[in-house]
A and B are shown apart, each in its own frame.
Chain A
């Protein structure tokens, strides 16, 4: 089956765009309701048991990240998943100074 058949031809989720590094987690509702979902949706909800990025979900499903984004968006809308958008970017277009400083400290400590 072509990947885009999974999404009924949609390549963009409804609502706000989600960056590919966005992390996804399952909700209590999603955990309880996973068994009733179609297979692709169920696999995503199961993956969300641990925090996982949109990119990794696409890889695990063998679909482009754009397709994963649509499926995740459906599951977020139905309350099975929460999508945690990355923090807003600073004026110059990248992460804030505070975030970069934490990253720098972390990389130096690695």
Chain B
């Protein structure tokens, strides 16, 4: 291709919004696609992406030389916060037998909402472990499936093995207000880490 002068850029006066990203993670069928769809201002995109994969049971992901790539489905949505900020949402896949090396997604992210179905709490452990190891701010949001509002918070915390400083909240991935307040909780939590 031809080369252009070095200084060819945007027209003067055009400001570029800051792109941010939040991950929505959790087990298979827990409501990630639903939550991304509820929050997104565009019809959520479901994309197949090539990602680096690492076997489970490995503590230090960064130290693993033997990485493979695999193709995984991912949900993608967008919220325009204002003229100067766009928030992208990534629904990350729910397989628990393998956890994927989501460095690309997690890098520089605001944080993650880990969705939990209390009838199948084991499904969220991979995500919780991953974000804990990577020190990415996250909140745990119990998705409101039938009969899951019965348990007190302390019982749920104990079952999920999450520490007191991880926000735990109840949500409904179909509900815009509740889903947005899960994001608000996450950003507040991230702020406590950032300041």
* B84 nearest in chain A by CB position: A102
Compute how far the CA of A59 lies from the CA of B87 in the bound complex, rounded to whole angstroms: 17
> How many residues on A have C-beta within 8 angstroms of the other chain's C-beta atoms?
49
Asked if A97 and B191 sit within 8 Å, CB to CB, the answer is yes
Among A84, A102, A110, residue most surrounded by chain B Cβ atoms (within 10 Å): A110
**Inside 8 A of A110's CB, which chain B residues have their CB?**
79, 81, 180
Are B194's CB and A97's CB within 8 A?
Answer: yes
Q: How far is the CA of A82 from the CA of B194 in the complex (A)?
A: 29
Supposing A86-B108, A94-B108, A94-B137 touch, asked if A28 and B11 sit within 8 A by C-beta, the answer is yes
Determine which of B3, B16, B45, B81 lies in contact with A23 in the assembled complex, contact meaning CB atoms within 8 Å.
B16
Check if B45 sits within 8 Å of A95, measured CB to CB.
Answer: no
Q: Which of A20, A64, A79, A82 has a CB less than 8 Å from the CB of B10?
A: A82
Given A27-B10, A59-B45, A94 and B109 contact (CB-CB distance below 8 Å): yes
Residues of A within 8 A of B191 (CB): 97, 100-101, 104
Contact of B81 among A37, A89, A97, A107 (CB under 8 A): A107
Residue of A nearest to B105 (CB): A20
Contact with B along A69-80 (1 / 0, CB 8 A): 000001100111
Contacts of A37 in B (CB 8 A): 1
Chain B interface, >50% SS class: mixed
By beta carbon, the residue of chain B nearest A4 is: B50
The answer for the CA separation of A92 and B82 in the assembled complex, in Å, is 25
Give per-residue flags for A15-49: 1 if the beta carbon is below 8 A from chain B beta carbons, else 0. Answer: 00001111101011110010001000100000000
Extra contacts besides A25-B16, A53-B19, A100-B190 (14): CB < 8 Å? A20-B21, A27-B9, A58-B49, A78-B2, A79-B8, A86-B108, A92-B135, A93-B108, A97-B194, A100-B194, A102-B82, A107-B180, A107-B184, A107-B187
The 8 closest A-B pairs by CB, nearest first: A79-B4, A106-B81, A78-B1, A21-B19, A29-B4, A84-B16, A64-B50, A97-B194
